[in-house]
Amino acid sequence: MTDDIRALVIHGAMDLRLEGRPDPGDPGPGQVRVRMAAGGICGSDLHYHRHGGIGEAIRVRQPLILGHEVSGHVDALGEGVEGLAIGQLVAVSPSRPCGACAQCLRGLPNQCEHMRFYGSAMPLPHIQGAFRQVLIADAAQCVPADGLSPEAAAMAEPLAVCLHATQRAGGIVGAAVLVTGCGPIGILSILAARRAGADLIVATDLSDFCLDLARRAGADVTVNVGTDRDGLARYGAGKGTFDVLYECSGAAPALAAGIPAMRPRGTVLQLGMGGDMTIPMQALTVKELTLKGSFRFHDAFATGVELMRRGLIDVEPFVTHRFPLEEYAQAFETAGDRSRAMKAQLTFA
């Protein structure tokens, strides 16, 4: 197979191009050739596009194929691959830990020292992403998604992020939960927390559009902290209300507003990544709060696919826009507009 395929490549801030790349050919032993079907535009993709990186530390230093939220159909199987079939829809995990470093051997593959995570400018050379028409993946990355749409299957990656965070929280049955920031990660955190047994779920954001979708996802109460800056004040009465905070905005003001509403010995989960944040340490200390970072995932990916396949979590309503690959510019513009878009996806047909 020698025909070029198309791939979406970032060269720097506001320099995104649809380019030809060599066809990857046949899969090797233990590999799968996947013809891509759908790919979600993530916040990190938007950061690369708008700013040429994420914060000061992660910068695009060479052309980088974006994309890590993807699904596709099996096109060919390498030697020794079992459990997959030609034409089958699969969700493709972007997480490829080495399995041999100190962190992998500790049972922390999401913290792999040599992680090859699709579409990442962290290492140099960069790890090329999955916004391309054809991908060669390890069979272990490909989770059968029979019964799902390609769009739902491509949501497995952000859902896995939220399931991993929920695991980090510990027991949530009967808990009162606060979610700050109702972009895709916030919305999926609401779904994950409810599935895990949360009782009360309150969600905050600056966008009425996002808060409407938060209610659809299962939030009991929503607060627009832009128009109602004291909207969380009542939850801070006494010693506070919430057992768990999913901080999904990456904004220091959201964290600062959420902590007074926490009960003593509650758990703060930091998922949002917007750069360094000022942490109100004195309040954490006085309330004996536990602050936990939550980064990526591993085994939660397959769990998320199975929850969707069983109908226990429905992500379809939150894929609000779909664009063919050649309309990538409009897709990225739309994906960054929280007044009208939740999850925008590219299609590769």
Q: How many domains does the chain have?
A: 2
> What's the pLDDT at 276?
76
> What's the pLDDT at 202?
98
Mean pLDDT taken over the chain: 95
Same domain assignment for residues 103 and 131: yes
CATH number at residue 148: 3.90.180.10
Percent of the chain with pLDDT over 90: 94
Same domain assignment for residues 135 and 167: no
Query: Which of 270-274, 305-309, 325-329 shows the lowest mean pLDDT across its residues?
Result: 270-274
Contact 342, 318 (CB under 8 A): yes
pLDDT in tens, 203-233: 999 999 999 999 999 999 999 999 998 999 9
> What's the pLDDT at 3?
63
pLDDT mean over 34-50? 96
Same domain assignment for residues 148 and 218: no
Task: Report residue 2's pLDDT band, with 50, 70 and 90 as the boundaries.
Answer: very low
Same domain assignment for residues 114 and 79: yes
The answer to the question of residue 251 being in a domain is yes
The answer to the question of residue 67 being in a domain is yes
The answer to the question of residue 303 being in a domain is no
Could you tell me where the beta strands, DSSP code E, fall in 43-121?
Answer: 53-54, 58-59, 64-65, 69-77, 89-92
The answer to the question of residue 77 being in a domain is yes
Query: Which of 2-6, 19-23, 299-303 shows the lowest mean pLDDT across its residues?
Result: 2-6
Same domain assignment for residues 230 and 277: yes
Same domain assignment for residues 67 and 167: no
The answer to the question of residue 308 being in a domain is no
Same domain assignment for residues 150 and 170: no
Q: What are phi and psi of 71, to 5 degrees?
A: -140, 165
Same domain assignment for residues 211 and 330: no
The answer to the question of residue 310 being in a domain is no
**Per-residue pLDDT for 137 more than 60?**
yes
Q: Which residue has the tokens 């226990």?
A: 312
Same domain assignment for residues 147 and 127: yes
> What's the pLDDT at 270?
96
Please give the model's pTM, rounded to 2 decimal places.
Answer: 0.95
Same domain assignment for residues 28 and 124: yes
Same domain assignment for residues 266 and 336: no
How many other C-beta atoms are found inside a 10 Å radius of the C-beta of residue 4?
11
pLDDT in tens, 43-52: 999 999 999 9
Domain that includes residue 83, residue range: 5-155+315-347
pLDDT mean over 167-173? 95
Contacts of 50 (CB under 8 A, 6+ apart): 13, 14, 336
The answer to the question of residue 194 being in a domain is yes
The answer to the question of residue 84 being in a domain is yes
Contacts of 315 (CB under 8 A, 6+ apart): 152, 155, 159, 188, 191, 308
Same domain assignment for residues 11 and 97: yes
